[in-house]
Chain A
C-alpha cells in the first residue's frame, strides 16, 4: 500500500525513465559545482548550447521587452514528478529554502477543484456564540500574518520504511516544500464567531471532491494556525488550496486543509476517515498511534543525491533540515559511512518549523563511500538512525518516516539510495 494515498500506485509504473528525469540542465549544475566553483549558477549558462542558452551574441541584438507575468528562462526544465494523486518537488535542483510555488508538491484526494473566489465562503458553526460566514474580502481585511514554513506530507519518505526504494531525492523526499504563507490567524476568525467554553476540537473541511476533513484539537491550533490566502507573495496556487487553506506550522500536511470552506467546533474529535483509517501509525503490537500531528526532526542531503554523479575534488554537500517542533540547532554530515560526523554550516535565517539549508565543503578522493546527514533541534532531539526508528516503530507505520537518509557513492561517482 502506498503510504500517502489510497489510490495505489501502479506497481508496473516504469522506473526506466528515471535517468531521463534527471534532466540535463540539473546534471550540468551538479557537474559544474564539482569543478571547484561555488558560482555554479553563474557559469552554467555558458556551457549550454545557444538554442538553450539564448542568443549567440546577446550584446548585439535588442532583448525582449517587459512582460505582464514572468516565466522562467527557456531551457530551465526542472519540474515536479507527477503521479495520479500527487506530485513531488525536485529538491535535487533547488537552492535556498523557498520552493518556487510552481514546484511546491501536490497531494489531493480527488483532484484540484475550480473555485470562484468571489463566491467562496468560510462557514464557522457548532459550539460558537454566533455561526458566521466570511467572504474572501472579509478574510483579507482581518489583521494579517506572514510566516515562512515547511509543509510535509506525513507520507513523505514513506516507501523507505521497507528499505531503500526511491531512486532520487525527489522520490524519497519530494512530498515537502517551503513557502512564505500569508493569512489571518485562525484564532482571530474564530473569535469573531465567539468560541463557547465547552469547544475542544474543530473540524476543518475542504470544498474539493474529497471534502477533505480533519479534526484538530482547538487549544493547539489556536496557538499558531493560519487561514492563508497567499503563498510567496501572490494568491495561492489552485493546487495549494486557492483561494483559502489552513496552514498549521509543523503539522503533517494533511491537516493543512486546502480549499477550506467549513470549521465546526465540537467537544470531541469527529473521528473522520482521515484520522482513523488513514493518517494513523500502525505499531508492531497491532495498535495504532492516532493524532500524530507533529512532523519530527529530519534532514536529507539534496546534493549530491540519487541519480547524480560527482567528480573527484571539491564537492559542496547541500541539504535541508527541519522540525515541526521548532528550530534546527545543528546539522551534521558524515562522508565515511557514519564513523565521523562534521558540523555543517547553517544558512541564516534559521526559522522555526521551516526548512533550514545546510552546507558542508568536502573533497572526494574517488573512493567508494556513504554520505548522510543528521540534525538536532532545539529540544536536543537527534534525528534517529533507520535501525533506531524501526526498532521503535516496526516497518508498517506508513507515515512519519524521518530516519537518517543514506546515499552511496561508487568509484565512478554515481550516487544511489542505500541503507547499511
Chain B
C-alpha cells in the first residue's frame, strides 16, 4: 500500500513538473532525419487550390478565351460542347441526380469551383498535365462554368472571383459518419 502511494506521488510530482516545463506536442521522439525544406522546395510543388481560394495564382481568363482553348485542347476527349465525350461529360445534368439516370457533371455535381482550377492544372490535358498557364486555366474554368449556366458570358475568372462562385450542388454532400450498422 505504502509503496503504491509512494509511486502515485512520484507520478503526480512528475506530471506537475511536466505541466510546468511543457509537454512536446507530438509524443513521438525525433530522429534528426531529413532536412529543412526551402521556400523553393515548397513553391515548386505546392499546387493545390483550397475552396477559399488560397493557392490561386495571379492571372485572369474569360469565357471567350476559354472557348478557343477548349476547342483546341479539350474537345477531342470531352466533345465540342462538353456533353459528347468520349471521356467524362462536363456539362449539363442539373436536376438529374435523384432520377433513374443521374448525370454527374461539373454543373450538376461538383461542389466547389476552385476544384476545377486545381484539377485542370494538376492533371489536364491528359497528354500534357501541368502545362497550362494560369491565364489558360482561368479561361477554361470560365468557359466550363458558363457552359453549365453558372456564370455570365462576360464574366472574368481570377483569384478574387473564382472562390465566390457558388456551385449548384454545393450542399449535395453528406460527410459519412456511418458506423457499420446493418442495412447502411
Interface residues of A (CB under 8 A from B): 1, 6-8, 109-110, 121, 123-125, 130-135, 138-139, 141-142, 187-188, 190-197, 203, 205, 209-211, 213, 261-262, 264, 266, 268, 270-273, 276-277, 280-282, 284-294, 296-297, 325, 377, 379, 381-382, 384, 388, 391-392, 396
Interface centre among B34, B35, B114, B123 (most CB of A within 10 A): B34
Q: Is the interface of B mostly helix, strand, loop or mixed?
A: loop
Q: Is the CB of A138 within 8 A of B34?
A: yes
Q: Select which of A209, A276, A296, A382 is within 8 A of B129 by beta carbon.
A: A209
**B106 nearest CB across to chain A (Å):** 8
Q: Is the CB of B33 within 8 A of A271?
A: no
**A147 nearest CB across to chain B (Å):** 18
* Residues from 107 to 133 in B contacting A, C-beta threshold 8 Å: 109-112, 114-115, 118-119, 122-123, 126, 129-130
Query: Could you give 7 example pairs across A and B, Cβ below 8 Å?
Result: A131-B41, A142-B33, A191-B29, A192-B34, A287-B97, A289-B178, A382-B182
* A contact residues around B13 at 8 Å (CB): none
Top 10 A-B residue pairs of the complex, sorted by shortest distance between their CB atoms = A286-B98, A191-B28, A286-B97, A191-B26, A131-B37, A273-B119, A134-B34, A381-B180, A290-B173, A132-B34
**B39 nearest CB across to chain A (Å):** 9
Query: Is B60 an interface residue, CB under 8 A from the partner?
Result: no
* B contact residues around A287 at 8 Å (CB): 97, 172-174
| CB-CB nearest in chain A for B106 | A277
* B contact residues around A280 at 8 Å (CB): 173
Q: Is the CB of B48 within 8 A of A205?
A: yes
Distance in angstroms between the alpha carbons of A213 and B112 in the assembled complex:
16
Q: Is the CB of B123 within 8 A of A210?
A: yes
Query: Is B59 an interface residue, CB under 8 A from the partner?
Result: no
Bits for B80-100, please: 1 = Cβ < 8 Å to A, else 0: 000001111000000001100
**A61 nearest CB across to chain B (Å):** 53
Q: Select which of B29, B86, B98 is within 8 A of A284 by beta carbon.
A: B98
Q: Select which of B29, B87, B130 is within 8 A of A211 by beta carbon.
A: B130
Interface residues of B (CB under 8 A from A): 25-31, 33-37, 41-42, 45-48, 50-51, 85-88, 97-98, 102, 104, 106, 109-112, 114-115, 118-119, 122-123, 126, 129-130, 172-176, 178-184
Q: Is the CB of A211 within 8 A of B129?
A: yes
Q: Is the CB of A392 within 8 A of B184?
A: yes
Q: Select which of A271, A291, A377 is within 8 A of B112 by beta carbon.
A: A271
* A contact residues around B115 at 8 Å (CB): 271-273, 276-277
Distance in angstroms between the alpha carbons of A262 and B110 in the assembled complex:
25
Given contacts A8-B86, A192-B33, A381-B181, contact A276 B173 (CB under 8 A): yes
Distance in angstroms between the alpha carbons of A272 and B121 in the assembled complex:
12
Q: Is the CB of A210 within 8 A of B183?
A: no
Distance in angstroms between the alpha carbons of A7 and B127 in the assembled complex:
13
Given contacts A133-B37, A134-B33, A270-B48, contact A290 B119 (CB under 8 A): no
Distance in angstroms between the alpha carbons of A276 and B110 in the assembled complex:
6
Q: Is the CB of A125 within 8 A of B46?
A: yes
| CB-CB nearest in chain B for A122 | B34
Given contacts A276-B112, A287-B174, contact A194 B25 (CB under 8 A): yes
**A14 nearest CB across to chain B (Å):** 18
Q: Is the CB of B50 within 8 A of A286?
A: no
**B53 nearest CB across to chain A (Å):** 12
* A contact residues around B35 at 8 Å (CB): 132-133
**A368 nearest CB across to chain B (Å):** 30
* A contact residues around B173 at 8 Å (CB): 276, 280, 287-290
Q: Is the CB of B97 within 8 A of A282?
A: yes
Q: Is the CB of A288 within 8 A of B119?
A: no
| CB-CB nearest in chain A for B130 | A211
Q: Is the CB of B50 within 8 A of A266?
A: yes
Given contacts A197-B25, A282-B97, A291-B175, contact A277 B104 (CB under 8 A): yes
